[in-house]
Amino acid sequence: MIAEPYDFSIDVESLENDEIQEGGLTTEQYIKLFSAYLYNNELCAAKFLWRRVPDSLKSNPELQKVWSIGKALWTKHYTQAYELIDCKWSDVLEPIMVAIKSRIQQDTLKFISTHYENIQLDKFQTFMGVNKEQAERIVEREGWTLLNGYVIPVAINEPELTLSGSQEILDRLVTLSSFTSYVEN
């Protein structure tokens, strides 16, 4: 698997509670919360967050770039998402963007390993957002085979997921939707 380059330990619940208690966040806090949602693949939460961001803060260039990544992921335009992630970021956001890209690549590897018997190398490169040399290194690191321009993946086994994490996410979404309903009405 691709190693995590950054310990992504943003306290989503804390930022969400701050937003509820304070009636909003700073631009930096919104960027961190957006990034956390993208990292955790909580695209619905990111979309609703954008609706809650005050118009006066939406002009921030980094906030707009993070939102653009979210829109690209939402519409499954992964090539565009990789291009946006690979842009120049502030020193604070650079490692976060590396972590988001790594997480997307890990999810892509899992998908490819379970849904493809083989895939053309150029298509694999596009899905992973890497060049040919990087793609070949990933194939080798995963223990997959590269034969005549095709990647032959080996299924990645994952442990069974429990429902406890799902319940936590649902509880947070109920709280946020209640807050959003309150703010909009």
| Residue 46 contacts residue 32 (beta carbons within 8 Å) | no
Q: Rg for the chain (alpha carbons), in Å?
A: 18
Report the range of poorest mean pLDDT among 31-40, 115-124, 157-166. 157-166
pLDDT digits (tens, 9 = 90+) for 64-85: 999 999 999 999 998 899 999 9
| Residue 97 contacts residue 113 (beta carbons within 8 Å) | no
- Report the pLDDT value the prediction gives residue 92, as an integer from 0 to 100: 84
Torsion of CA 18, 45, 35, 59, to 10 degrees: -80
Confidence band of 155 (pLDDT split at 50, 70, 90): confident
117: which residues sit within 8 A by CB, 6+ positions away?
A: 152, 153
Q: At what angle do helices 78-85 and 121-128 cross, to 10 degrees?
A: 60
State the Cα–Cα distance between residues 158 and 169, nearest whole angstrom.
20
- Report the pLDDT value the prediction gives residue 177, as an integer from 0 to 100: 78
Return the number of other C-beta atoms located less than 10 Å from residue 27's C-beta: 16
- Residue 171 has which token pair? 């509880």
pLDDT digits (tens, 9 = 90+) for 68-127: 999 999 999 988 999 999 999 988 888 889 999 999 999 999 999 999 999 999 999 999
Confidence band of 172 (pLDDT split at 50, 70, 90): confident
Strand order across the 119-120 sheet: 119-120, 150-152, 145-147
| Residue 98 contacts residue 105 (beta carbons within 8 Å) | no
State the Cα–Cα distance between residues 10 and 37, nearest whole angstrom.
10
Q: At what angle do helices 164-184 and 12-22 cross, to 10 degrees?
A: 20
| Residue 150 contacts residue 119 (beta carbons within 8 Å) | yes
Q: Provide the mean pLDDT of the chain.
A: 86
Confidence band of 1 (pLDDT split at 50, 70, 90): very low
159 has a pLDDT exceeding 70: no
Confidence band of 12 (pLDDT split at 50, 70, 90): confident
Report the range of poorest mean pLDDT among 3-12, 25-34, 107-116, 151-160. 3-12
pLDDT digits (tens, 9 = 90+) for 47-66: 999 999 999 999 999 999 99
Q: Which residues pair with 119 in a beta bridge?
A: 151
- Report the pLDDT value the prediction gives residue 162, as an integer from 0 to 100: 56
Q: Where are the domains of the chain?
A: 1-115, 117-184
